[in-house]
Amino acid sequence: GQSLEQPSEVTAVEGAIVQINCTYQTSGFYGLSWYQQHDGGAPTFLSYNALDGLEETGRFSSFLSRSDSYGYLLLQELQMKDSASYFCAVKKAGTALIFGKGTTLSVSS
Amino acid sequence: EAQVTQNPRYLITVTGKKLTVTCSQNMNHEYMSWYRQDPGLGLRQIYYSMNVEVTDKGDVPEGYKVSRKEKRNFPLILESPSPNQTSLYFCASSGEGQGGTEAFFGQGTRLTVV
């Protein structure tokens, strides 16, 4: 089987930096991706790591280490609007995306 | 505008009354899938389709059917809904971009079965 583990909740204050970890037990996947979902909304794509290392997109960065079966999403300069759920996901050949259970991020002022 | 359209957005129905939730995408994507989302359980895959006439079960397929007669449409059918199928449902599509991991989601269908 395959599973992705994430913390269920993370809290932080505005302007801070937060890291959301994702560990997985699967192999042969294309890469690790991250999605954001605001309450009541649809998930939206944030980032994708095909290779090991850090990918940066503005305030958000994502990291993958296949040897450690581990990745993370790093959010910098947190804003209130970053309060949302964040999901890591993997895709293998011939399957749809498989998601972790999500991490709820609460940003306070 | 690239989008995935689901209908209806909200639905309340009674146990046993067949229903269909429609999903359509305008991006010519090969992959389409259905997920249900329940508190604390994340997004669980119901069915997915790699292309026309090719479908496969996900993690929670019991009580659901799908069809993929055209590339753009992927309806979800509940032949005899039960209260445990009360949930938030999402349809998603993806192409080959970002290794196939960039999925586009519909706005969701909140289903209540009483």
Does residue A84 surpass a pLDDT of 70? Answer: yes
Give the Cα separation of B108 and A24 in Å (integer). Answer: 27
Minimal CA–CA distance to A75: which of A46, A43, A32? Answer: A46
Q: Which of A24, A44, A45 to mutate to test the interface with B (most CBs of B within 10 A)?
A: A45
d(CA B97, CA B72): 17
Closest to A69 measured CA to CA, from A21, A25, A19, A33: A25
The structure tokens listed for A57 are 């997109």
CA distance A88 to A23: 9
Interface check for A94 against chain B (CB to CB < 8 A): the answer is yes
Over the stretch B9-65, which tens digit does the pLDDT of each residue have?
Answer: 999 999 999 999 999 999 999 999 999 999 888 899 999 999 999 999 999 999 999
Q: How far does B33 lie from chain A, in Å, by closest CA?
A: 7
**How distant is the Cα of B102 from the closest Cα of chain A, in angstroms?**
6
Name B105's bridge partners: B92
Average pLDDT over residues B80-93: 97
Q: Higher-confidence residue: A96 or A90?
A: A90
Q: Given pLDDT bands bounded at 50, 70 and 90, which one contains residue A93?
A: confident
User: Confidence band (pLDDT; 50, 70, 90) for A92?
Assistant: confident
pLDDT of A2 over the 70 cut: no
pLDDT at A3: 84
pLDDT of residue B92: 96
Look at residue B60 in the predicted model and tell me its pLDDT. 95
Q: Would you say residue A29 has pLDDT above 60?
A: yes
pLDDT on residue B101: 81
State the amino acid at position A4 in one-letter form: L
B56 to chain A: which residues are within 8 Å by CB? 95
Q: Which residue has the higher pLDDT, A50 or B76?
A: B76
Q: How many CB atoms lie within 10 A of CB A37?
A: 21
